[in-house]
Amino acid sequence: MKILVIGQGGREHTLVWKIAQSPLVEKIYCAPGNAGIAQIAEPIPMGNDFDELADWAESTNIDLTVVGPENPLAAGIVDVFRERGLKAFGPDKRAAQLEGSKDFAKQLMVENDIPTALYRTFVDADEAIDYIKTNNTSVFVKADGLAAGKGVIPGRTIDEATQAVKTILVDKAFGDAGNSVVIEEELIGEEASFTVLVDGSYCLTFVSSQDHKMSHDGDTGKNTGGMGAYSPAPVMTPELHDYVMERVVYPTVKGMANIGCPFKGVLYVGLMITDAGPKVLEFNCRFGDPEAQVLLPRLKSDLVPLMMACIDGTLDQLADVQWHTEAAACVVMASGGYPNPYQTGKIITGLADASLIDGVNVFHAGTKQDGENVVTNGGRVLGVTALADDLKSAIEQAYRGVSAIHIDNAHWRTDIGYRALSRI
């Protein structure tokens, strides 16, 4: 098979790395890719012109296109490919609204009795601020559209929440993604990531994971796209797993089918485990990043047939998925300043040394090749990932990998997995 992967981040590097292990695969291309991806797949320097990509896939006889990021999914890349008779892994534009519009997702949850936070949606800043002042409770203010994981702002005081509304609706910090805001009550508890493959009706769950969204230790600082992850997540017990499948996953998949938006691809459920049980924080319509960096290394089975089965509606025939027993941890090394403005072009050294450490893989996120050097080319630069017999050892190995790498002014969290370790 010839496979095209769309994207250039850490998730896409992990996807390419996993796909390359399949005996079914002859050649992998990636559009546009990064310095790490280029070591195992041929980079295709194409942008966001879906027709051009489909033309190229058709002329190259691509058997499967795997769409990594949320933006092309929400913009309808799968629809363009399907109209050409090309197989593309991921939900179509209508189904991708689950991630592309928080208001759409909240309405679906309310209509299908899926546990989530109380909320209101606003397009007018003054009305939103009046609502905040009237309720006078701790909230989260969320840009309705896609904002690269940064469009969620805590408003634990009236002033904070008011400023968040102004940032999104008035200052347009997230552009058109902030044409409306969802204001929802703050949920207290521990977060977990729940990942499921869906073929329109059948659901196949991945092992549990948890990420760290805040930029600094102790879950302080600003919201980011994710500063690290680990798997398994001890908070997700077998009992909670069954509850989430029954109360969240199946109703979501059925609810989407009922409104004519059958979901095919990766359904990612961001959960808050509260005293009242799990509640949905968000849906994503693709693998999490950096959750993919800990989930895919733990997947023993071939990923390619699973993706094809999602497209063909035959996932139930591949239900016996095998997993490695080892735990996984990923530490994200980020550019200095991220998620605020940061510089790029910093030389990265020590990549080969880190890869020699037992169990360590270094997945590139924001990198590019500059002559003989690999340099930074984004906010999140590397996902240093390790597999080991237990979670504590995996975390230790990942940090050994981090210590072998040097990037001027880089920063990373030093407490990845702290909640899990406290439980263990």
pLDDT at 166 over 80: yes
For 364-387, how does the pLDDT look when each residue is reduced to its tens digit (9 = 90+)? 999 999 999 999 999 999 999 999
Segment (H or E) for 55: helix 50-59
Q: Across residues 11-19, what is the average pLDDT? A: 98
For 186-228, how does the pLDDT look when each residue is reduced to its tens digit (9 = 90+)? 999 998 999 999 999 999 999 999 999 999 999 999 989 899 9
Expressed in angstroms, the distance from the first to the final Cα of the chain is 43
pLDDT for the residue numbered 117: 96
pLDDT for the residue numbered 149: 74
Give the Cα separation of 387 and 56 in Å (integer): 37
For 293-323, how does the pLDDT look when each residue is reduced to its tens digit (9 = 90+)? 999 999 999 999 999 999 999 999 998 899 9
Give the Cα separation of 88 and 65 in Å (integer): 5
pLDDT for the residue numbered 420: 93
pLDDT at 392 over 80: yes
For 318-367, how does the pLDDT look when each residue is reduced to its tens digit (9 = 90+)? 988 999 999 999 999 999 999 999 999 999 999 999 999 999 999 999 99
pLDDT for the residue numbered 47: 79
Give the Cα separation of 268 and 193 in Å (integer): 7
pLDDT at 99 over 90: yes
Q: Across residues 166-186, what is the average pLDDT? A: 95
pLDDT confidence tier of residue 148, bands split at 50, 70 and 90: confident
pLDDT at 279 over 90: yes
At 258 the three-state DSSP class reads helix
Give the Cα separation of 297 and 68 in Å (integer): 16
Amino acid at 179: N
pLDDT for the residue numbered 156: 92
Domains of the chain by start residue, with CATH: 2-89 (3.40.50.20), 118-185 (3.30.1490.20), 190-318 (3.30.470.20), 327-423 (3.90.600.10)
Q: What is the pTM of this model?
A: 0.95
pLDDT at 124 over 90: yes
Beta strand ranges found along 33-134 (DSSP E): 42-43, 64-67, 88-89, 119-122
pLDDT at 229 over 90: yes
Q: Across residues 57-83, what is the average pLDDT? A: 97
Q: Across residues 73-100, what is the average pLDDT? A: 97
Per DSSP, the residues of 20-31 read TT-TT-SEEEEE
pLDDT at 164 over 80: yes
Radius of gyration of the chain (CA): 21
User: Within 10 Å of residue 413's Cβ, how many Cβ atoms?
Assistant: 23
Sheet containing 139-143: give its strands across.
Answer: 119-122, 181-185, 139-143, 152-155
pLDDT for the residue numbered 423: 84
At 82 the three-state DSSP class reads helix
H runs (alpha helix) in 328-367: 351-355
Token code pair at residue 174: 């997230």
pLDDT confidence tier of residue 125, bands split at 50, 70 and 90: very high
Q: Are 127 and 184 in contact (CB under 8 A)?
A: no
